[in-house]
Structure 1
Amino acid sequence: MDISDGAARIAARDILSGPAPRAASLIVTIYGDVAAPRGGTLWMGTLIDCCARHGISESLVRTAVSRLVGAGRLQGERIGRRSYYRLTPDAGAEFSEAAGILYAPPAAAKGWLVALGLRSRPPGWASLGPSAAIAPDRADMPRPDASVLEAPDLAPEALAAPAADLWPLGEVAERFTAFLQGFAPLEDALRTEPGAPPDGAEALALRLRLVDAYRGAALADPRLPASALPPDWPGHRARAVFVSTYLALAGAADAEIGLNLGDDTCPMLAETEASRWRMERLRAEASQKI
């Protein structure tokens, strides 16, 4: 069965016939969305087949995997005549942190943190001078070894312009806008057209494109307090489109993973405790916005 005729089919065709993602980026997405919650290991043939649906050749896949091995993100193992690649421990930790942002983001920043007497600046902090920095006050923000002051949220006119100077808000907004241009039509069609969800192979391909496109913007987003963002900030709409589309595609995509992505040595389950946790968090987020 294919996507039914109508807006959903047009939107899906536009996405899957568009420019192919970079091979390394899509492979990282495959590991993050498919492999990480299912043990973290994939057969090379699985990667080649997944990428082929997006117009990425076998040679590009093998080159990208080799580079990811060289960068310490993947490590390989040969079993019989087949090569398998799994996440390294360091990469696994990075993927876990990224998964938190994608599938279960922490509560929005409630204010600001200001560090004084800073020797080194942790990720996410913006410099205010040689030994001072500012960051959004979120539960996942790393605290530096320095004096840290908590500041309440401030009026928009007090921080909007400085925030745009301290963080790349313009670039992040462009990424979210590009994501919306690509996926908002699909989200709308899947939400409103009866019988629109695609079959398993197409659902998985669309979900991988969805995650790949959203991941770049979401991981670059400093997730500042609302007062520091412009009133037309596209990140809010992008998040809603991501959650809605992911949930609409998940059932068929996960079934496809269980049926066709594993082999006898490295079986892939349709669902695991980790994948169910992701779905539960996304459903809870979606229900809060109804």
Structure 2
Amino acid sequence: MTPTSSSAWIAHFLASEPPRSKSLVVTIFGDSVAPHGGTMWLGSLIELAAPFGVNDRLLRTSVFRLAQEGWLVASRDRRRSSYAILPQALARFERANRRIYAPLEIRWDGTWTLVMAASGALSAPMRAALRKELVWEGYAQLAPGVFGHPASDSAALDELLGRCGARHQVFVCSASALPQVASRSLPELVAEGWDLSDVSAAYEQFIAQFAPLLALLAPHALQADSAGGPLTAEQAFVIRTLLIHAYRRVQLHDPMLPVELLPDPWPGARAYELARSLYCAVQASAEQHVMAVMRREDAQAPQADGAFYQRFGGLA
């Protein structure tokens, strides 16, 4: 099926790839709630999730589980409940946002960050947890007990080690190649350490899914879809949320290597530009919907903060 309007595109996407409710709530909190103070009444959250086919029961179950997992915290005011991003989880939301919305300008200075655990220094459960977290952060296991990344975020690494209880159990250092010493080429190391084929394919799939939507929106941008029907604020919000939900899923598997070490051409660059174009096209109308929903329960709900308008290099 080739959708002929943005409304048809939304319906087709939700029918073929309905988002999981808990993961969708994380996307909504990261993309839409965090810029407005990080707190939302449950009724408003239910209203925002409804167009995605997430009913009241599923939504309540999702936020309850996210609270149990340390992402959200619940508060009550008489008969109403609200949910907020837990302070301890805020750093993880902020780090994810930097990855999603920041321009692809990671340059390489020739150094590597190495994380090394001596044999027997870690218990088996801690070693498994640390390996999982480092791989999610984009590190590759270069040798038994040795993980490396050529563009490490030191603050993110410190937070990761603290979360795993491994700050004083591992060695962390910076390394670079010795000049005038023969060694294997860097492309070989990258190819052996990081299998980029799945990430590349995921970016290509993202482009194939969302490029037609950009074409549908282009003629009238914020006012209407190409079939002439008005693009409502709610539809703009749904598009923005599905966009970030899909893009985030690919980004979380991207090791975020410096551009000098990536294959050329790299589909991640095209995916970013597509995401940026779509986000800019719908963000103003989407924000109108978010504010309208929030202020139905809270007349003092704040406008989006300044950091929101710096996403994707600056929102028009």
Q: Shorter-chain-normalised TM-score: which range?
A: 0.7 to 0.9
Counterpart among 122, 131, 151 of residue 137 in structure 1: 151
Superposition pairs of residues 155-170 of structure 1, within 5 angstroms: 158-170=185-197
Counterpart among 106, 112, 126 of residue 140 in structure 2: 126
RMSD in angstroms over aligned alpha carbons?
A: 3.0
- 2:33 aligns to what? 35
Is residue 2:86 matched to residue 1:88?
yes
Identify which range, 25-34 or 212-221, moves more after superposition: 212-221
Whole-Å separation in 2 of the counterparts to 1:54 and 1:135: 37
Whole-Å separation in 2 of the counterparts to 1:177 and 1:188: 17
- 2:70 aligns to what? 72
Aligned AA (1:282):
G
Aligned AA (1:179):
F
Report % sequence identity: 31
- 2:314 aligns to what? 282
Is residue 2:182 matched to residue 1:182?
no
Is residue 2:174 matched to residue 1:148?
yes
Identify which range, 175-184 or 188-197, moves more after superposition: 188-197
Is residue 2:275 matched to residue 1:242?
yes
Residue 170 and residue 268 in structure 1: after superposition, are their counterparts in 2 closer, same or farther (change >3 A)? farther
Counterpart among 8, 21, 24 of residue 26 in structure 1: 24
Residue 54 and residue 115 in structure 1: after superposition, are their counterparts in 2 closer, same or farther (change >3 A)? closer
Residue 168 and residue 21 in structure 1: after superposition, are their counterparts in 2 closer, same or farther (change >3 A)? farther
Shift of 1:276: 2.6
Whole-Å separation in 2 of the counterparts to 1:147 and 1:44: 45
- 1:288 aligns to what? none
Shift of 1:115: 4.7
Contact 1:104–1:282, Cα closer than 8 Å, also in 2 = no
Shift of 1:26: 0.4
Deviation readout 1:170-207 (Å, 9 max, x if unpaired): 22223222222221111233234464362201100111
Whole-Å separation in 2 of the counterparts to 1:165 and 1:44: 47
Identify which range, 5-14 or 197-206, moves more after superposition: 5-14
Whole-Å separation in 1 of the counterparts to 2:58 and 2:294: 20
Shift of 1:243: 0.5
Whole-Å separation in 1 of the counterparts to 2:300 and 2:28: 15
Contact 1:160–1:228, Cα closer than 8 Å, also in 2 = yes
Contact 1:160–1:230, Cα closer than 8 Å, also in 2 = no
Whole-Å separation in 1 of the counterparts to 2:252 and 2:115: 28
Contact 1:74–1:88, Cα closer than 8 Å, also in 2 = yes
- 2:224 aligns to what? 196
Aligned AA (1:95):
F
Contact 1:201–1:256, Cα closer than 8 Å, also in 2 = yes
Contact 1:43–1:266, Cα closer than 8 Å, also in 2 = no
- 2:258 aligns to what? 225
Residue 136 and residue 105 in structure 1: after superposition, are their counterparts in 2 closer, same or farther (change >3 A)? farther
Other structure's SS at 2:285 match = helix
When normalised by structure 2's length, the TM-score is: 0.76
Residue 256 and residue 138 in structure 1: after superposition, are their counterparts in 2 closer, same or farther (change >3 A)? same
Contact 1:102–1:215, Cα closer than 8 Å, also in 2 = yes
Other structure's SS at 1:261 match = helix
Deviation readout 1:253-282 (Å, 9 max, x if unpaired): 011111223344474344332323337x33
Whole-Å separation in 1 of the counterparts to 2:114 and 2:190: 18
Aligned residues: 275
Contact 2:138–2:256, Cα closer than 8 Å, also in 1 = no
Aligned AA (2:23):
S
Residue 225 and residue 67 in structure 1: after superposition, are their counterparts in 2 closer, same or farther (change >3 A)? same
